[in-house]
């Protein structure tokens, strides 16, 4: 069963926009894959498209805060495929007791306009997978883990233009008509276009 290990503590930076994680924690998905986040990671919620904030709220408010931090980290380091990273976000939200309807809308936002990368880099994924969930049960971490730099040849894709009105008009369909995230993906591809 999917779960978090460790209890994350956060501190806001002076600018009030960036949040620093003070201790490590992890999300373990249903397949028992560890999505670990080291201490001292700085996140800004930017993995959730800003146009969606007015519809859904800030990524740092509410039950999806922990899922947002894990998602931000993996969108930054890009050690796993973009679609797997966005799907983890959905699963983490549901684990955080976000309603299915809201989680599907949040997933739709990152699937529609969140970052995508062309390859799954593997330079850190083995380390993350080797970590056991119990390694994240402590609130303390003895040393800072620096953010690895993605390979220079990695292409990061962002949708150049988003149709916020069309997306907002479809939110009710994402919440009520889509039973699964595969349904969400199909609806976006059909009505909004998944790629440019």
Q: How many domains does the chain have?
A: 1
pLDDT in tens, 158-189: 666 667 778 788 888 888 899 999 999 999 88
| Residue 29: per-residue pLDDT | 96
From 33-42, 87-96, 159-168, the region with the lowest mean pLDDT: 159-168
Q: Is 77 part of any domain?
A: yes
Q: Is 98 part of any domain?
A: yes
Query: In this structure, are residues 180 and 121 in contact, taking their beta carbons and an 8 Å threshold?
Result: no
Residue 67 confidence class, pLDDT cut points 50, 70, 90: very high
Of residues 193 and 77, more confidently modeled: 77
Q: Is 87 part of any domain?
A: yes
pLDDT above 60 (res 156) = yes
Q: Residue 185 CA to chain centroid, in angstroms?
A: 16
Question: How is residue 177 annotated by DSSP?
Answer: T
HEC profile of 100-136: HHHHHHHHHHHHHHCCEECCCCCCCHHHHHHCCHHHH
Query: In this structure, are residues 19 and 42 in contact, taking their beta carbons and an 8 Å threshold?
Result: yes
Give the structural domain span for 128.
Answer: 45-134+156-191
């Amino acid at each position: 069963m999917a779960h978090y290990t460790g209890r994350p503590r956060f501190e806001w930076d002076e600018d009030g926009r960036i949040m620093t994680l003070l201790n490590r924690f992890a999300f373990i998905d249903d397949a028992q894959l560890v999505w670990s986040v080291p201490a001292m990671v700085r996140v800004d919620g930017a993995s959730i498209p800003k146009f969606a904030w007015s519809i859904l709220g800030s990524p740092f408010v509410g039950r999806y805060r922990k899922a947002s931090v894990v998602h931000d980290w993996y969108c930054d380091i890009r050690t796993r495929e973009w679609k797997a990273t966005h799907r983890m976000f959905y699963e983490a939200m549901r684990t955080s007791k976000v309603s299915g309807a809201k989680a599907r809308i949040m997933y739709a936002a990152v699937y529609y306009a969140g970052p995508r990368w062309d390859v799954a880099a593997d330079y850190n994924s083995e380390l993350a997978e080797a970590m056991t969930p119990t390694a994240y049960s402590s609130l303390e971490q003895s040393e800072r883990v620096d953010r690895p730099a993605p390979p220079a040849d990695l292409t990061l894709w962002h949708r150049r233009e988003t149709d916020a009105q069309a997306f907002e008009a479809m939110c009710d369909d994402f919440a009520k008509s889509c039973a699964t995230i595969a349904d969400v993906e199909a609806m976006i591809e059909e009505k909004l276009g998944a790629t440019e």
